[in-house]
Amino acid sequence: MSDLHEFQKKNGAIYGNSFPAIQNFGDSPDEYRAAHAGCALFDLTGLGFLKLTGKDVHDLLHRLTMNEMRKMQHGDILVNAFTNAKGKLVDAFFQIKNADGYHLITSHGQGEALMAWLDRYIFVEHVVCENRSERVRLFLLAGNEAVAVAGLDAMPLTSSATTIADVPVTCLPVAHLCPKGLLLVVDAEHALAVYQALALAEVCTPAGAEVYNMLRVEQAVPQFGNEFRQEDTNPYEAGLHSFINYNKGCYIGQEVIARLDTYDKVKFEYATLAIDGAMTAELPAAVLDGDQEVGMLTTCTRDPQKSTASLAIGRIRRKALQEKNTFVIHSGEKSLQVKVLSSTFSDVSSS
Are 248 and 238 spatial neighbours (Cβ–Cβ below 8 Å)?
A: no
Domains with residue ranges and CATH for the chain: 3-46+134-218 (3.30.1360.120), 48-131 (3.30.70.1400), 267-343 (2.40.30.110)
Q: What pLDDT shows up at residue 307? A: 86
Tell me which residue of 80, 2, 44 sits closest to 206, measured CA to CA: 44
Tell me which residue of 293, 331, 292, 340 sits closest to 312, measured CA to CA: 340
Instruction: Assign 230 a pLDDT band (cuts: 50, 70, 90).
Output: confident
pLDDT digits (tens, 9 = 90+) for 248-278: 999 999 999 999 999 999 999 999 999 999 9
In single-letter form, the type of residue at position 189 comes to E
DSSP 8-state class, residue 34: H
Are 207 and 198 spatial neighbours (Cβ–Cβ below 8 Å)?
A: no
Instruction: Assign 346 a pLDDT band (cuts: 50, 70, 90).
Output: low
Q: Torsions phi, psi of 347, nearest 5? A: -90, 95
d(CA 303, CA 193): 34
pLDDT digits (tens, 9 = 90+) for 134-179: 999 999 999 999 999 999 999 999 999 999 999 999 999 999 999 9
Residue 345 has pLDDT above 90, yes or no: no
| Burial of 14: CB neighbours in 10 Å, binned 0-12, 13-18, 19+ | middle
Q: What is the pTM of this model?
A: 0.96
Are 209 and 226 spatial neighbours (Cβ–Cβ below 8 Å)?
A: no
- C-alpha dist (Å) from residue 196 to 187, 204, 205, 287: 14, 11, 11, 43
| Burial of 36: CB neighbours in 10 Å, binned 0-12, 13-18, 19+ | middle
